Structure 1
C-alpha cells in the first residue's frame, strides 16, 4: 500500500513541477530511465536518493507522504481505473464529469 502511494506521489510532484521523468533522473545524477522505473513500480530508490528526490522537488519527506493534503493522488487513482474502462463507458463518464462542472 505505501509503495503504491510512493509511486503515485512521485509522479504527482514531478508533474506539478513540469518535469519529464528523464530530466529529473539526469538532474539527480541517475540514468535517464531511473525515475521512469520507479514510477512504473519496478524499483524503489535508496533512502539517500529519496532525500535527494525530496530536496529536488522542494518538499520535506513529511510533505512527500502527506497524501491527505493531496487530492491529486485521488485523481491519479481514478485515471488508473479509467484505463480499464471500455471506450463507450469512458465517453459516458466524460459527459457526466462535464455536466458536473457546468
Structure 2
C-alpha cells in the first residue's frame, strides 16, 4: 500500500476490481451471499469487511491475498501487464491463449 490508510486502500481496491470485472455493487453483494447493499456499505466507508469476508471478497476476484494487496498496476514488467490482460478474458479466450502458448513453447 502506497501512502494510503489501509481502510481507503481496501475500499479503493474493491471498487477497482469490481469495475474491472464489470459487476455492480448490488450483484457482487448478492453473489457473496450478503444483502444487496453490503458492498456499497464497504466502499462508501460505512463499514469494513471482517477478515473472513475480506478473504471471500478476494476469492470472488479469483485472486490471492498477495495479489489483492500488491496491485499489479505498480509493476511495469511485461509479465504483470499480460497477467492483468488475462484477468479480463473469457474462458474461451483463455483456452486460445493456452493453445498459443503451447505452440510457442513447443
TM range (shorter): 0.5 to 0.7
In the alignment, which of 65, 69, 73 is matched to residue 70 of structure 1? 73
Please report the RMSD computed on the Cα atoms of aligned residues, expressed in angstroms: 1.1
What is the CA-CA distance between 1:62 and the residue it aligns to?
Answer: 1.1
- For 1:10-89, what aligned pairs fall within 5 Å after superposition? 10-67=14-71, 69-70=72-73
Runs of 4+ in 1 over 2 A off after TM superposition: none
The TM-score, its normalising length taken from structure 2, stands at 0.63
Query: What count of residue pairs does the alignment treat as equivalent?
Result: 70
The TM-score, its normalising length taken from structure 1, stands at 0.65
Structure 2: tracts of 5 or more residues without a match: 75-106
Cα distance between partner residues in 1 of 2:38 and 2:73: 24
Structure 1: tracts of 5 or more residues without a match: 72-102
